[in-house]
Amino acid sequence: MNKQRKAVALISGGLDSMLAARTIQEQGIHVEGINFFTGFCVEGHTHAIREKDKAKPKRNNSLWVAEQLGIKLHIVDVIEEYKNVLLNPKHGYGQHMNPCLDCKIFMVNKAKQWIAENDFDFIITGEVMGQRPMSQRKATMPIVAKESGADDLLLRPLCAKNLPATLPEREGWVDREKLHSITGRSRKPQITMAKEFGIDEYSQPAGGCCFLTDKYYSAKLVDLWKARDSREYELDDVMLLKVGRHIRPQAHYKMIIAREEGEGRFLHGYKKDYVSMTCVSHQGPLVLIDGTIAAEDLYLAASITARYGQGRDAEQVEVNIVYQDGAERTLHVKPMLEQDMPKAWFI
C-alpha cells in the first residue's frame, strides 16, 4: 500500500497560497498549513484598536483560508528569531525595510524544520515566478530553495512547470502534469483557477500583510532606531508604531498621541512603562513619551499635548504629567499653534 504523503503549505492568507494548497490537495496529498507570526504581520491591528472599527474586526485571513481548504493551520511565533532576519538581511532590503528574500528563506527553513519534526514529506508555497520584484524572480527562486536548506523538498505548484522537477514530482507523489506554469504579475491565471476551484472569495493584500512594505511604517521604524542609536526592538515597539500620531519635537524623545478613544485605551496599557501626559482642564488624548524627556523639555511637550485636546484654542491648558514611578506634576501651558509645528516633527 502506498504511503499517504503529507505536505505543509505556507499559508499567508492570500489567494496564491490558497491555490497552491488546493492544487496539491486535489492530488490526494494530505496538506496542513503553517503561518509564521513575525510581529510585523499586523493586518487587522488598526481595526482591533480603533473604537470605530471594533464592531467590524478584520478576520485573520490565514485562519479563514485554512477553514475554506479544510486543513489544519499551525501558527508559529517567530518574533525573536525574526529579529536577525530584519536586522541583518544577507540579500538586503526591498523598497522600504522589507527583507523579502531573506524572509522567504527564513520561513521555508522554518517549514523544513517543521516537516522534519512532524514527519511530513515536503513543503509547498504559493510563489509565482516573476510576481514579486525581490523574492519571486527566476533568479531568486533557486536561492530560496538552496539557502533555506529545503532544496528539492520545496514545491511551488503554481509555477512548478517552469522549474526543475522536485523530489515529490520525481518520486511520483504528485503528477507534474497537473501542476501549473504561471509567470508574471498578472492575476488573471490565478483568478481563472480560483473560479475553476469554486473559490469566489479571497483576500489579495498588496505586499502581503507585512507592515515592513509600508513606507510610513518603515519610516517610523528607522526613526526609532536612529533615536535610540540601536536597532534592537521589542514586540511592544513594533505595536506602538501602529498606534497614534508620532511626533518628535526633539531628537531625544518622541510623543505618541492617541487619535481616538480606542487608541487611548490601547496606549493606557503602556502607561506604566512611559512618561505620560493628559490634559486635565479640557478633554484631551493620552500621550506617551518615548525616550528621555528632561525637565526643560516638559513645557514644549505639554503645549503639544494641549494642542491635540479640546482646549487647543484656549489661552491656557492644565496638563498632568505622570512618571513611570507614579510621581505626578502639573503644568499650565499655552497650546501650541498648528503653524508653529514644523512638518519635520511628524514621523
Partner 1 sequence: MTREILNARRLLCPLPVIRTQDKVKQMQTGDQLEVICTDPGVMQDIPTWCRINGHTVLELLSGDHEYTVILEVGGA
In the complex, the residues that contact partner 1 under the rule CB under 8 A are 35, 37, 41-42, 44-45, 47-49, 54, 57-60, 62-64, 66-67, 70-77, 239, 265, 269
The separation between CA 92 and the C-alpha centre of its own chain, rounded to angstroms, equals 18
Q: With respect to partner 1, which residue has the nearer C-beta, 51 or 196?
A: 51
Q: With beta carbons less than 8 A apart as the criterion, state whether 245 and 308 touch.
A: yes
**Shortest gap between Cβ of 315 and partner 1 (angstroms)?**
36
- Name which of 75 and 219 has its Cβ closer to partner 1: 75
**Residue closer to partner 1 (CB basis): 36 or 253:** 36
- Give the three-class secondary structure for 228: helix
Shortest separation between residue 267's beta carbon and partner 1, angstroms: 11
Output 77 or 151, the one with its CB closest to partner 1.
Answer: 77
Burial class (CB in 10 A: 0-12, 13-18, 19+), 294: exposed
Rounded to an integer, what distance in angstroms lies between the CA atom of residue 55 and that of residue 194? 30
DSSP symbols for 163-179? S---HHHHTTSS-GGGS
Q: Minimum Å distance from CB 90 to partner 1?
A: 27
Q: Which is nearer to partner 1, 242 or 246 (CB)?
A: 242
**Closest separation in Å from C-beta 59 to partner 1:** 5
- Among 83, 105, 163, CA closest to 130: 163
Nearer to partner 1, 47 or 245 (CB): 47
Q: Strands (DSSP E) along 292-340, which ranges?
A: 317-322, 328-333
- Shortest reach from residue 159's CB to partner 1, in Å: 27
Residues 283 and 309: their CA atoms lie apart, in Å, by 6
> How far, in Å, CA of 126 to CA of 138, rounded?
15
CB 28 to partner 1: min, Å:
20
Q: Measured between alpha carbons, how far is residue 306 from residues 112, 251, 263, 297 in Å? A: 53, 21, 17, 14
